[in-house]
Amino acid sequence: MPTRPLGRTGERVSLLALGGHPLGRLADEELAVRIVQRALDLGVTYLDTAPSYSRHRSERRIGRAIRGRRDSVLIATKSYRLPARAALEELEESLRALGTDRVDVFQIHAVGDAEDRAAKLDPEDGVLAAALRAKEQGKVRFIGVTGHFDPEVMAGCLDLHDFDTALLPVNCADPLHRSFVTGTLPRARAKGVAVVAMKVFAAGKLVAGESPRASVEECLRYALGQDVATATAGFDSIAQLEADVRVVKAYRPLPEAAQTALVERQEPHPGTALEWYKRD
């Protein structure tokens, strides 16, 4: 599995990261655990989850899967609880669910508008305050921020604190509507923040149906070509995971002309009918 630096952290991560949201939704817990274990076997080293993914179920399943292998992976989790005390309590719940004494990346989760940003990034009593306290206690190694609502709001986050990572939407439709690729990634790049790409398939909508807007390979190659550290994907089956791993292991950048053509194929952009998570 190819790897890239995780920004300025000194760590390297696999080009493909495991997104934990689907793991919590799966009816078959044993399948969820096997998906994580197979991902580790195939060289995936970055696992992204959250307590809000089915009320810690995703974290618990990841915790089961990594027993005996904790030191071979980087675990990222999140919180959006306020005030800081509540976020710290949630982090403790996450540590218990994951079966570990620390997480590698603790992220201020789902920053929305400017008011939400001010509350969550309050260094005295916001989620950021909780993250800083947890880092001092050795329960957190790196601090990140996530958001998929507004690229300008997320760019502002990067000006307010020296984050280690930023989890952002990166896909071939993004440049056509409230773009994180053009509106946030340049700020992250300038500040040395590691971008972890999410919504690579626009929550599956880019590759769904009989006439998909793009192929899985095109989506992954596009996202990995945008100067990101890694791209997260969630899986409902081991076959799906293995197919994505094959693409990433054979990764080669899309030529600039092919990238442009792929983006142009997404026109006209249907707004939130495609990227439902963005501000309309």
Pairing, β 74-79 against β 12-14: unpaired
* Mean pLDDT for the stretch of residues 54-72: 97
DSSP state of 269: P
pTM for the model: 0.97
Residue 171: closest CA among 277, 60, 37: 277
CA distances from 126 to 84, 120, 175, 190 (A): 5, 5, 31, 25
Over pLDDT 90: what percentage of the chain? 100
What is the per-residue burial (b if ≥16 Cβ within 10 Å, else e) of 140-170? bbbbbbbbbbbbebbbbbbeebebbbbbbbb
Average pLDDT, the chain: 97
Q: Residue 189: count other Cβ atoms within 10 Å of its Cβ.
A: 14
Q: What interhelical angle do 238-249 and 216-224 show, nearest 10?
A: 50
178 Cβ neighbours under 8 A, 6+ residues apart: 150, 151, 275, 278, 279
CB–CB of 122/129 below 8 Å? Answer: yes
Burial class (CB in 10 A: 0-12, 13-18, 19+), 83: middle
Which pLDDT score, from 0 to 100, does residue 280 have? Answer: 85
Over pLDDT 70: what percentage of the chain? 100
* Mean pLDDT for the stretch of residues 159-181: 98
Residue 49: closest CA among 36, 58, 40, 37: 58
E strand intervals along 95-139: 103-108
Domain 3-273 grouped into CATH 3.20.20.100: yes
Distance of alpha carbon 202 from the chain centroid: 13
Cis peptide leading into 270, omega within 30 of 0? no
Which pLDDT score, from 0 to 100, does residue 138 have? Answer: 98
d(CA 243, CA 239): 6
Residue 120 — very low, low, confident or very high, per pLDDT cuts 50/70/90?
very high
> pLDDT tens digits, residue range 38-60?
999 999 999 999 999 999 999 99
Both tokens assigned to 43: 């060289």
Which pLDDT score, from 0 to 100, does residue 17 have? Answer: 98
Residue 171: closest CA among 194, 145, 148: 148
Which pLDDT score, from 0 to 100, does residue 159 have? Answer: 97
Pairing, β 194-198 against β 3-5: unpaired
CB–CB of 78/106 below 8 Å? Answer: yes
Phi-psi region of 218 (alpha: psi -120 to 50; beta: other; left: phi over 0): alpha
